[in-house]
Amino acid sequence: MMDARWPSLVGTLPLNDWQFWIATLLALGAVTLIVRPLIPRKKSTKSACPGCPSGEAASKPPRPKHVDLTIGGKRVRNGR
């Protein structure tokens, strides 16, 4: 059941005040920023990488290539 005071509470909101609306929008934006990361995302059935079955390659950056350190054409340390 609704409380009998409900209509009187709505009547006291400053709906004609621009500052009320700015503060309301800021509060809604803050709530959105806080709650959005908590909501799980739906997994897309569409692959991000058409040639990749899992779409994993499109999201991961390529691994850097490792090279041997040489000084004057001679290997300084052993490679991996």
Q: Does residue 65 lie in a domain region?
A: yes
Q: pLDDT digit string (tens) for 14-69?
A: 889 999 999 999 999 999 999 998 988 876 655 555 565 555 555 667 777 887 78
Q: What is the DSSP letter of 41?
A: P
Q: Residue 57 sits in which domain range? A: 6-75
Q: Does residue 1 lie in a domain region?
A: no
Q: Are 47 and 55 in contact (CB under 8 A)?
A: yes
Q: Which residue intervals of the chain are DSSP H helices?
A: 6-11, 18-35, 56-59
pLDDT at 15: 87
Mean pLDDT, to the nearest integer, of 6-13? Answer: 73
For residue 18, how many C-alpha atoms fall within 13 Å in the half-sphere facing its CB? 0
pLDDT at 43: 67
Domain count for the chain: 1
4 confidence band (pLDDT: 50, 70, 90): low
